[in-house]
Amino acid sequence: MNINATLLAQTIMFALFVWFCMKFVWTPIIAALEERKKQIADGLADAERAKHDLDLASKRSAEILREAKEKAGEIVANGDKRASEIVEEAKVQAKVEGDRIIAGAKAEIDQEVFRAKEQLRTQVSAIALAGAGKILGREIDAKAHNDLLDKLVAEI
């Protein structure tokens, strides 16, 4: 338990340990702690920002959804309108077509009637001639009485 040169050795050792600690221990550990502190703060800030972004995004998506719905409704309405238009047009067209067919048929019928009449008339005139010939007892010259016959036919 004597005071001796150990004293100096201890002082020097102490200084060296402090120097070592300051240079190689304290600085890197404190730097890491600071770095982690910063990372955590950044992480929290990021989370906050992400939350904000999420809010915005959900708002925006709701808006887009609403717009899409509106547009879809519009399209459906347009489609309905167009369909009824088409139906109307088709109706009109069918009516026109029908009328045309009816008119054609009528004309044909008229023509047919006319032709039948014509035939009938010629046959009637022949019959009349034959009848008259029998009645008169002689042959009527078809040529001489043609105009008379024609008049008769026209009357029939």
By beta-carbon proximity to another protein, the closer residue of 33 and 101 is 33
Show the binding pattern over residues 7-46: x = contacts another protein (CB under 8 A), - = does not.
Answer: xxxxx-xxx-xx-xxx-xxxxxxxxxx-xx--x-------
Shorter beta-carbon distance to another protein: residue 8 or 136: 8
Can you tell me the distance from the alpha carbon of 154 to that of 148, in angstroms, rounded to the nearest whole number?
Answer: 10
Cβ at position 44, least distance to another protein in Å: 15
The piece of 6-14, 65-73, 118-126, 146-154 that touches another protein (CB under 8 A) is 6-14
3-state secondary structure the chain: CCCCCHHHHHHHHHHHHHHHHHHHHHHHHHHHHHHHHHHHHHHHHHHHHHHHHHHHHHHHHHHHHHHHHHHHHHHHHHHHHHHHHHHHHHHHHHHHHHHHHHHHHHHHHHHHHHHHHHHHHHHHHHHHHHHHHHHHCCCCCCCCCHHHHHHHHHHC
Count, residues near another protein per rule CB under 8 A: 32
Tokens of 154: 């026209």
Q: Does 89 bind another protein (CB under 8 A)?
A: no
Residue 23 CB, nearest approach to another protein (Å): 8
Q: Token pair for residue 54?
A: 């999420």
Shortest spacing between CB 48 and another protein, in angstroms? 21
Contact letters (x/-) for another protein, 42-71, by CB under 8 A?
------------------------------
Query: Site residues (CB under 8 A) for another protein?
Result: 1-11, 13-15, 17-18, 20-22, 24-33, 35-36, 39
